[in-house]
Structures are given as structure tokens and as C-alpha cells.
């Protein structure tokens, strides 16, 4: 049996008082899986990604990523591990404001000791794939929301991470650009066996994944292979039924 690349056990994150952002999530992600996470606003999707990436610590329960517990690592070790193994696309873009798009994309490459020439070459290649080659000289505040999003994605992919954690990476994109990104993610997963955990509100994006997770009030209420859905409309209808509490029996029940 292959070891899961990400595992969460009874993972909880409570905020002062009564906000149960995450309320006991058990999850195993196998290498090369492409997973979509859906759920209403406030259901805990970003919290789950942040906990997996070690950006916040759990209130209870445990995360392991490639066998390591981010909560037990030193800040330096965690930063290095993240840079080398994880591509992160935050919901808020976190681009460095005084750097151009190209400079933002090359930050992780230079930090890993690549030459400026190689880093620029890689930035150009990614920008071409993502349709932002014309924007490389612009600073983030002059980029459209969708362009910023693609710069963030380019930065996350710059070091060919084994794991991509992406929080609504297509949230500001038109459907064609969004489809282009889905094709890239699909290829990364199929051809290069990358593991992808993608948060999205869009059924047309989720349908590209192989496995759909649905969060509601900090709990995993569904975990289903997307091969069950003939198309995005079918997936949207199943999602709706799940969150309204009329879920069909889940193919993979989450552990209660």
C-alpha cells in the first residue's frame, strides 16, 4: 500500500469561543490524486489548507504531510520544506507589492539558488503557459485580479512542487482562462503525478478533479470520486443535495 502524502486525523481548529472552523476531519490523500474541496463560505476550506501547509496550528488532532508533522517543525525547516515540496496558492494573493510579476515568480527559484538567467527562463515559460507573458513587467497593483491569480499560480509552480495546495485559484478568471488552468493542473497530475488539493466554488472546475470533498460547518460530509458525475451540472446538483442534507450515500464515507 502506498503511504498517503497527506493525512489528517480528527483535525480541529477552533477560534476563541465558539467558531469551529474545522471540527474533526479525517482525510487521506494519495500521491498523484487531484482533489477538489467544495463547501459554503465559512465551511472551513481555507482553514483545512492552512493547517495542512502548517500556516496555523490545529486546536486538536494531527496533520502529516509526506510523513512530517508541520506543527512539530521549526520555522526554518518548515519554510524550506514548503518551498521545496509544496506549491501554495493563497486565497489572498500574497504577491510582493514592490516586485514585478516576473520578480514575484522568480522569488522561490532564486531562494533555491537557481541562477537569475534560469529563473527568468522558467518565469517566462510559466507565464506563457498561463497567458500572462505580456504582464511580466507589471507590479501587482497594476494587474487585474485574474492576472494576479495566475502570477501566484506561476510562483507556486515555479519549483515543480510535488504537492499543490490551491485556494480558489480560478476565482477571478473568465471561463476560458479557468479551463486553461484546469488543463494545466490535469496534466501536472496525470503526466507528472503531482498531488493537487484545490478549493473551488465552481462545479466546472471541480469536475476536472478525480475526487470531490465537501465541507459543511467544519466537517467532511462527502468524499466521492468525480467519475460518478457525468458533467459539471450533475456534480453541481449532487453538491447542492449534499449541503442541503439530502446526500446520496457517499462512495467513501468519512470516518465518524
Ligand X SMILES: Nc1ncnc2c1ncn2[C@@H]1O[C@H](COP(=O)(O)OP(=O)(O)OP(=O)(O)O)[C@@H](O)[C@H]1O
Which positions lie near Mg ion, rule CB under 5 A?
Answer: 45-46, 91
Residue 100 interacting entry, from Mg ion, ligand X, none, C-beta within 5 to 8 Å by type: none
Residue 44 interacting entry, from ligand X, Mg ion, none, C-beta within 5 to 8 Å by type: ligand X
Residue 21 interacting entry, from Mg ion, ligand X, none, C-beta within 5 to 8 Å by type: ligand X
Tell which residue, 195, 201, 212, has the closest CA to residue 250.
212
Q: Which is nearer to Mg ion, 45 or 216 (CB)?
A: 45
Q: Are 35 and 68 in contact (CB under 8 A)?
A: no
Q: Are 57 and 254 in contact (CB under 8 A)?
A: no
Q: Which is nearer to ligand X, 15 or 192 (CB)?
A: 15
Cell 480560478 sits on residue: 170
Please name the residue ranges forming H helices in 65-115.
Answer: 75-85, 101-111
Q: Which is nearer to ligand X, 109 or 197 (CB)?
A: 197
Residue 64 interacting entry, from ligand X, Mg ion, none, C-beta within 5 to 8 Å by type: none
Q: Which is nearer to ligand X, 46 or 100 (CB)?
A: 46
Residues at the contact surface with ligand X, assessed by CB under 6 A: 15, 19, 21, 39, 41-47, 91
Give the shortest CB-49-to-ligand X separation in angstroms: 8
CB-based closest residue to Mg ion: 46
Q: DSSP code of 171?
A: T
Distance from the Cα of residue 246 to its chain's centroid: 27
Cell 459543511 sits on residue: 216
Tell which residue, 66, 132, 48, 129, has the closest CA to residue 95.
132
Q: Which is nearer to ligand X, 83 or 211 (CB)?
A: 211
DSSP E strand stretches across 151-237: 163-167, 195-199, 211-216, 219-225
Give the shortest CB-20-to-ligand X separation in angstroms: 8
Residue 138 interacting entry, from ligand X, Mg ion, none, C-beta within 5 to 8 Å by type: none
Amino acid at each position: 500500500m502506498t503511504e498517503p502524502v497527506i493525512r489528517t486525523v480528527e483535525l480541529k481548529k477552533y477560534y476563541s469561543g465558539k467558531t469551529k472552523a474545522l471540527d474533526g476531519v479525517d482525510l487521506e490523500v494519495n500521491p498523484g490524486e487531484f482533489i477538489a474541496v467544495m463547501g459554503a463560505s465559512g465551511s472551513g476550506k481555507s482553514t483545512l489548507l492552512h493547517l495542512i501547509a502548517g500556516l496555523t496550528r490545529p486546536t486538536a488532532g494531527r496533520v502529516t504531510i509526506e510523513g512530517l508533522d508541520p506543527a512539530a517543525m521549526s520555522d526554518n525547516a518548515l519554510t524550506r520544506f514548503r518551498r521545496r515540496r509544496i506549491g501554495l496558492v493563497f486565497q489572498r494573493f500574497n504577491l510582493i507589492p514592490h516586485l514585478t510579476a516576473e520578480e514575484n515568480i522568480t522569488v522561490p527559484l532564486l531562494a533555491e539558488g537557481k541562477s537569475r538567467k534560469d529563473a527568468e527562463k522558467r518565469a517566462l515559460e510559466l507565464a506563457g503557459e498561463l497567458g500572462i507573458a505580456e504582464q511580466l513587467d507589471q507590479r501587482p497593483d497594476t494587474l487585474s485580479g485574474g492576472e494576479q491569480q495566475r502570477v501566484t499560480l506561476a510562483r507556486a509552480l515555479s519549483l515543480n512542487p510535488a504537492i499543490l495546495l490551491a485556494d480558489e485559484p480560478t476565482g477571478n478568471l473568465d471561463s476560458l482562462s479557468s479551463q486553461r488552468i484546469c488543463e494545466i493542473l490535469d496534466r501536472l497530475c496525470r503526466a507528472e503525478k503531482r498531488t493537487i488539493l484545490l478549493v473551488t466554488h465552481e462545479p466546472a472546475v471541480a469536475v476536472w478533479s478525480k475526487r470531490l470533498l465537501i465541507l459543511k460547518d467544519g466537517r467532511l460530509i462527502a468524499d466521492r470520486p468525480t467519475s460518478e458525475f457525468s458533467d459539471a451540472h450533475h456534480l453541481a446538483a449532487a453538491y447542492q443535495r449534499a449541503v442541503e442534507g439530502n446526500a446520496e450515500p457517499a462512495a467513501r464515507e468519512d470516518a465518524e
